[in-house]
Amino acid sequence: MKFIVNSSVLLRHLSYIDGVVVAKPIIPILNNFLFDIKDGVLHISSTDLETTMSTSIKVDSKEDVSIAIPSKTTMELLKSLPDQPLAFSINIEKGFVEIKYESGRFKLTAQKGEEFPKSPELEEVNTFKIPGKVLHKGIVKSVFASSNDELRLNLTGVYVQLFANSITFVATDANRLVRISRSDIKPGVEDSFIIPKKALSLLKSALPTDDTEVNISFNRSNAFFQFGEVSLICRLIDEKYPDYKAVIPTENPNKLTIDRAELLMSVKRVSITSNKTTHQIRMKIAGSDLTISAEDIDFENEAQEKLTCAYEGEDMEIGFNSKYFLEMLNSMDAMQVTLEMSQPNRAGVIVPSVQEPGEEMLMLIMPMMLNNY
Confidence of residue 368 (pLDDT cuts 50, 70, 90): very high
Q: Which whole number is the average pLDDT over 255-278?
A: 96
Dihedral angle computed from the Cα positions of residues 187, 191, 197 and 201, in that order, rounded to the nearest 10 degrees: -10
Same domain, 236 and 147: yes
Same domain, 206 and 285: no
Please say which residue of 214, 229, 245 terminates a domain.
245
- pLDDT digits over 60-82, tens only? 888 889 999 999 999 999 999 99
Same domain, 71 and 49: yes
Same domain, 150 and 172: yes
- pLDDT digits over 223-244, tens only? 999 999 999 999 999 999 999 9
* Phi, psi for residue 65 in degrees, rounded to 5: -155, 155
Residue of higher predicted confidence among 311 and 124: 311
- CATH number, position 108: 3.10.150.10
Q: How many domains does the chain have?
A: 3
Same domain, 189 and 211: yes
Same domain, 254 and 216: no
Assigned domain for 56 exists: yes
Confidence of residue 11 (pLDDT cuts 50, 70, 90): very high
367: which residues sit within 8 A by CB, 6+ positions away?
318, 319, 320, 344, 345, 346, 347, 348
| pLDDT for the residue 186 | 94
Please say which residue of 205, 227, 245 terminates a domain.
245
Same domain, 253 and 355: yes
Same domain, 272 and 313: yes
Percentage of the residues of the chain whose pLDDT score is greater than 90 = 89
* Phi, psi for residue 93 in degrees, rounded to 5: -65, -40
Answer whether 306's CB lies under 8 Å from 346's CB. Answer: no
Same domain, 88 and 130: no
How far separated are the first and last CA of the chain, in Å rounded? 75
Domain that residue 332 falls in: 248-365
Q: Which whole number is the average pLDDT over 261-275?
A: 96
Same domain, 264 and 238: no
pTM of the model: 0.92
- pLDDT digits over 153-192, tens only? 999 999 999 999 999 999 999 999 999 999 999 999 999 9
349: which residues sit within 8 A by CB, 6+ positions away?
248, 249, 252, 339, 340, 341, 362, 363, 364
Is the pLDDT at 372 greater than 70, yes or no?
Answer: no
Assigned domain for 342 exists: yes
Assigned domain for 121 exists: no
Assigned domain for 12 exists: yes
Same domain, 131 and 175: yes
| pLDDT for the residue 317 | 96
Closest to 44 measured CA to CA, from 60, 32, 56:
56
Answer whether 136's CB lies under 8 Å from 125's CB. Answer: no
Is the pLDDT at 351 greater than 80, yes or no?
Answer: yes
Same domain, 185 and 223: yes
Confidence of residue 373 (pLDDT cuts 50, 70, 90): very low
